[in-house]
Amino acid sequence: MQTSGKFAWTWTIREEDLEEYVEMHLAPWPEIMEEHSKAGFRDYSIFQNGTQFFYCFQCDDVEAAFAYLAESDACNRWNAITSKMVVGSFDFREAVPIQPMREVFYLK
């Protein structure tokens, strides 16, 4: 099967943090946007369904991108805030900070 080259995962946000999490993503810090672009993220979208969020992006080398973000001061400041809102962890220094979803269908 041909794949899209996209990566995706889901997270659940704590109900009490939902409004702030959404607000932060509606107006992200410019340095966060810049760091994700430098890391190699492109065509990045986040979709919401209640407290569940679906993240989808393209990246040529996701491991290198996560390593870059793990060393980013801006991303570490952002993550210090948002990591408390997420059920689970997204520490990019962990062996599996994000559990990518398997792509099972792609229509080009």
pLDDT in the model for residue 66? 87
Backbone torsions φ then ψ of 106, nearest 5 degrees: -150, 125
Average pLDDT over residues 72-101: 80
Check residue 5 and give its pLDDT.
84
Residue 97: is its pLDDT beyond 70?
no
Q: Give residue limits of the domains in the chain.
A: 6-82
Q: How far is CA 104 from the centre of its chain?
A: 20
Of residues 80 and 20, the one with the higher pLDDT is 20
Question: Residue written as tokens 């946007």?
Answer: 33
Domain 6-82, CATH class in plain words: alpha beta
Q: Give the pLDDT of residue 94.
A: 63
Lowest mean pLDDT among 16-30, 31-45, 53-67: 53-67
pTM of the model: 0.85
What is the pLDDT averaged over residues 28-41?
Answer: 97
Mean per-residue pLDDT for 9-29? Answer: 96
pLDDT at 93 over 70: no
Q: How many residues does the chain have?
A: 108
